Structure 1
Amino acid sequence: MTGGQLASNILIIAIVFYFAAFFVAAEFALVQTRKSALESALEEGKGNKRKLTIALKMVQNLNEYLSTTQVGVTLAGIILGWIGEATIEAMIVDVLQIAPLGTTAMHAVGAVLGILLLTYLEVVITEIVPKNLSIEMPMKMMMLVVTPLHYFHILFYPFVQLLNISAAGIIRLFGLTPATESNDVLTQAEILRLSRNAVTGGKLDKNDLIYMQRAFDFNDKIAKDIMVDRTSLDVVDITDSVKTVVNNYLREGFSRFPVVANNDKDRILGYVYIYDLIRQAQVDDSILVSKLLRTIITVPEVTPIQGLLQQMIQKQTPIVVVLDEYGGTSGIVTDKDIYEELFGVVKDEIDNVSSEYIIKTEDGGFKISGKTTLYDFERFFKVRNKSFDESESVTIAGYLLENYKVKRNDIITIDQLDLKITEFNRNYIDWLEVKHHPENKSEKSSEE
């Protein structure tokens, strides 16, 4: 091989290496670039609109453009195998001239080393490097390759179409359906799996994944799954007075009560709202709740939650009755029940005190924070202590420090409860242990 021919072959190899790397980079950029990312860039006006539009078209017709990259990679491989091996072998043989080897041996060694060196360069330069670049920054690589790939696609289009038709025909011979862009649609499980990987990689907030999971679960549930069962319903009778229901509210704490006829939960006539009752009580609390009755809607147990929410919005009602297959009352669903399916348990004023401050222990007692307010303490343990009302302190820790000389492990009895100081730091009570006083507990057992 003459010097001029060797130089021209090296130049051809370098050009083919470049094109091979380009087609591999284009292939992985097409696969890695998300359609949603291109659509978002177009909507926000980020980047070159023409390039983004062409890139979006490519991603939407992925099989067609991947075939173009495969044609380019294959042609580059053929040219490298045809010219590259002989050229590198000739270069190695020239180097081996200084070695004490025969002509046949030199050509044999040159052929082996040539194949190894060419394979190494081809894999590293035209495969691994462009692949990693496209995976690491798919959008940037897509914007770099989109225009040349567009023109290569136009140039190779007839050949690409012939290849695609031929491949589809062979696939159908095996009784299979050729892949289309619709095959790229992800299932819920795949979306969640990808989202978990995104959380692990720091690309997605953990709370976003939680809400996504709840949204999928939300669509799979029906009214029966989230309703308050009829056995747990607190109802009022249509013949009850406003005064009676207000007293019921003060005792139970519910802001809405289903109203029934003849105390029959299968005959729910509507519901009353505490705001209406309190306002009426200021005028005349002796009238019947029938005068303040609000309309309530009914739905079957199998109603999807999403459809149930739409009905509640359209009817502007925060409570619905869930009917069983026989038309009887199965339970009720409130707007709060639906919100908690998406956002988790949201405690309101009638719920127990937050578990952040009062924690049940394995021995049946409770570990409570010194920051727990006196009102929450009374409400949780269902006690009423007059000295709490007279105290200037707001928290249980403040009350104990105000009225007792306490230290760690001291036990103070308040009504039927024993309060043990478990964590006492810098003259402040951090945590207490609360148990029922043994005497009161035994008295209660004997009464039962």
Structure 2
Amino acid sequence: MVERNGELFLTNDQLVINLIIMLIVFYFAAFFVAAEFALVQTRKSALESALDADQGNKRKLKTALKMVQELNEYLSTTQVGVTLSGIILGWIGEGTIELLLVDALKITPLSTSALHAVGAVLGVLLLTYLEVVLTEIVPKNLSIDMPMKMLMLVVTPLHYFHILFYPFVWLLNISAMGIIKLFGLPPANESNDVLTQAEILRLSRNAVTGGNLDKNDLLYMQRAFDFNDKVAKDIMVDRTSLEVVDITDSVKTVINYYLRDGFSRFPVVANNDKDKILGYVYIYDLIRQARIDDSILVSKLLRTIITAPEVTPIQGLLQQMIKKQTPIVVILDEYGGTSGIVTDKDIYEELFGVVKDEIDDVSSEYIIKTGANVYRISGKTTLYDFERFFRVKNRSFDEAESVTIAGYLLENYKVKRGDVITIGQFDLKITEFNRNYIEWLEVTRHSEANEKEQNNK
């Protein structure tokens, strides 16, 4: 920089040198900002997974993992780099841009002092703009979009910068910790980076939205968390809904209960008292015994049953059932009385959802209640499921060759959309009829009073 007639000028060599220095400093400033955000955004688990899967450069991955584990120290290195870059840019860049702008504005009728004032303001604005865009926003966005890739790019040079700046970084960290302790606050500790259940689920939902996690995986994760939070009382069959048999009942009697209710296991009590559960009987044992002699008492086929308090965690309950090899547990209240029972199916459904088996009602996908004695029924519903759902028996269904309700109606009636067909105590209205197939019906069941009135007629 030389002075002519009281004004400062840059020689061509100085201008070139200053611009080269500015470009280099811009690069380093962008590097340190990119490294800072890459360190913050890259998860420790992602690096560990990459190491386990042997993906990428192992040496770089191990160095990156060390940096993430010692995040506070390496962030201090990036902050030192960003600060030094800003100081150098302010020192060289502002004066250089100001003089360039003053030279460019000499074509205007401004005085020398006014030129320098305008040049200084414009220089600061232009330098700030370039610094924010090129060294802050652009590298920040790149690191946020692809943190692992950016960290792999910066990890080696950042490692050497850390060694170079270490004495200064150490001094800064010690000073900062001292000030933090003066305020009575604990220093930052990377080992405390533990996520809560809510945070894990929130991250998992974001992963599902981004396509990196299957929706069912998130569902099972939520159920698993809920599973660990629940106790026996939350999932048990309450004693008021509990079906039991008496120790004096015969095998034949209990088999009839099975045919009526569909339960494959019955708790056995004394004196019909649900607080005196002695064990349970299994339908397989009963049927096998019935082939020999169905008049003997169920006491001869009694299986052992275990008990647990209402507050027993489900996980603990499952462990007990596995250890004792029993699929049913009696849940006791605080007074030692029967509060309910839990079966293995109750526990499995907490994790996998409700799975309807042969004794459950027909799937709600096929029969949907829409009002008092009014149902929307799929034409794919089998005749057996129809009878089972409504607990009726129709002789004409047994004689039919068709399997589904739609097939039965098409076999026996000439139907079209809107037709109403009466079968026993049911009015079947065809609501959806496509390509000569009955998709859906509206079924109205007659009330008992109406049914008696029709029978009298």
Query: Common fold, TM-score beyond 0.5?
Result: yes
Q: Return the match for 2:243 from 230, 234, 242.
A: 234
Q: Counterparts of 1:2-401 in structure 2 under 5 Å?
A: 2-401=11-410
Instruction: Kindly state the Cα deviation for residue 443 of structure 1 after the two structures are TM-superposed.
Output: 4.0
Instruction: Kindly state the Cα deviation for residue 136 of structure 1 after the two structures are TM-superposed.
Output: 0.6
TM-score under structure 2 normalisation?
0.93
> For each residue in 1:51-90, what CA deviation from the matched residue of structure 2 results, as whole angstroms up to 9, or x when unmatched?
1111111111111111111111111111111111111112
Contact 2:39–2:71 (CA under 8 A) maintained in structure 1: yes
Distance change >3 Å, CA 168–CA 321, structure 1 → 2: same
Identity %: 84
Q: Distance in 1 between matches of 2:450 and 2:54?
A: 71
Contact 2:76–2:169 (CA under 8 A) maintained in structure 1: yes
Instruction: Kindly state the Cα deviation for residue 130 of structure 1 after the two structures are TM-superposed.
Output: 0.6
Q: Distance in 2 between matches of 1:184 and 1:351?
A: 46
Contact 1:416–1:440 (CA under 8 A) maintained in structure 2: no
Contact 1:413–1:437 (CA under 8 A) maintained in structure 2: no
Q: Distance in 2 between matches of 1:442 and 1:393?
A: 27
Contact 1:26–1:149 (CA under 8 A) maintained in structure 2: yes
Distance change >3 Å, CA 160–CA 44, structure 1 → 2: same
Q: Distance in 1 between matches of 2:372 and 2:435?
A: 28
Q: Which residue of 1 is the match for residue 419 of structure 2?
A: 410
The gaps in structure 1 that reach 5 residues or longer are none
Instruction: Kindly state the Cα deviation for residue 440 of structure 1 after the two structures are TM-superposed.
Output: 4.5
Instruction: Kindly state the Cα deviation for residue 292 of structure 1 after the two structures are TM-superposed.
Output: 2.2
Instruction: Kindly state the Cα deviation for residue 104 of structure 1 after the two structures are TM-superposed.
Output: 1.5
Between 406-415 and 16-25, report the one with greater CA deviation: 406-415
Contact 1:242–1:277 (CA under 8 A) maintained in structure 2: yes
> For each residue in 1:385-413, what CA deviation from the matched residue of structure 2 results, as whole angstroms up to 9, or x when unmatched?
11111100000111111112222222222
Q: Distance in 2 between matches of 1:270 and 1:46?
A: 56
Instruction: Kindly state the Cα deviation for residue 232 of structure 1 after the two structures are TM-superposed.
Output: 0.7
Contact 1:21–1:130 (CA under 8 A) maintained in structure 2: yes
Instruction: Kindly state the Cα deviation for residue 301 of structure 1 after the two structures are TM-superposed.
Output: 0.2
Q: Return the match for 1:433 from 442, 445, 453.
A: 442
Instruction: Kindly state the Cα deviation for residue 364 of structure 1 after the two structures are TM-superposed.
Output: 4.0
Q: Distance in 1 between matches of 2:397 and 2:229?
A: 48
Q: Distance in 1 between matches of 2:239 and 2:372?
A: 32
Give the secondary structure class of the aligned counterpart of 2:117: helix
Between 257-266 and 121-130, report the one with greater CA deviation: 257-266
Instruction: Kindly state the Cα deviation for residue 157 of structure 1 after the two structures are TM-superposed.
Output: 1.8
> For each residue in 1:297-352, what CA deviation from the matched residue of structure 2 results, as whole angstroms up to 9, or x when unmatched?
11100011111112222222211111100111100111111111122211111111
Between 101-110 and 53-62, report the one with greater CA deviation: 101-110
Q: Distance in 1 between matches of 2:351 and 2:57?
A: 39
> For each residue in 1:103-161, what CA deviation from the matched residue of structure 2 results, as whole angstroms up to 9, or x when unmatched?
21221121111111111111111101111111111110111111111111122222212
Instruction: Kindly state the Cα deviation for residue 438 of structure 1 after the two structures are TM-superposed.
Output: 5.2
Contact 1:366–1:433 (CA under 8 A) maintained in structure 2: yes
Give the secondary structure class of the aligned counterpart of 2:371: coil
Contact 2:373–2:446 (CA under 8 A) maintained in structure 1: no
Q: Distance in 1 between matches of 2:405 and 2:451?
A: 26
Give the secondary structure class of the aligned counterpart of 1:160: helix
Give the secondary structure class of the aligned counterpart of 2:362: coil
Q: Distance in 1 between matches of 2:276 and 2:71?
A: 60
Q: Distance in 1 between matches of 2:160 and 2:351?
A: 48
What CA RMSD, in Å, does the superposition of the two structures yield over aligned residues? 1.7
Q: Distance in 2 between matches of 1:96 and 1:121?
A: 20
Between 332-341 and 157-166, report the one with greater CA deviation: 157-166
Give the secondary structure class of the aligned counterpart of 2:281: strand
> For each residue in 1:267-306, what CA deviation from the matched residue of structure 2 results, as whole angstroms up to 9, or x when unmatched?
1122122222222222332332222222211110001111
Give the secondary structure class of the aligned counterpart of 1:431: strand
Instruction: Kindly state the Cα deviation for residue 44 of structure 1 after the two structures are TM-superposed.
Output: 0.7
Contact 1:368–1:432 (CA under 8 A) maintained in structure 2: yes
Give the secondary structure class of the aligned counterpart of 2:275: strand
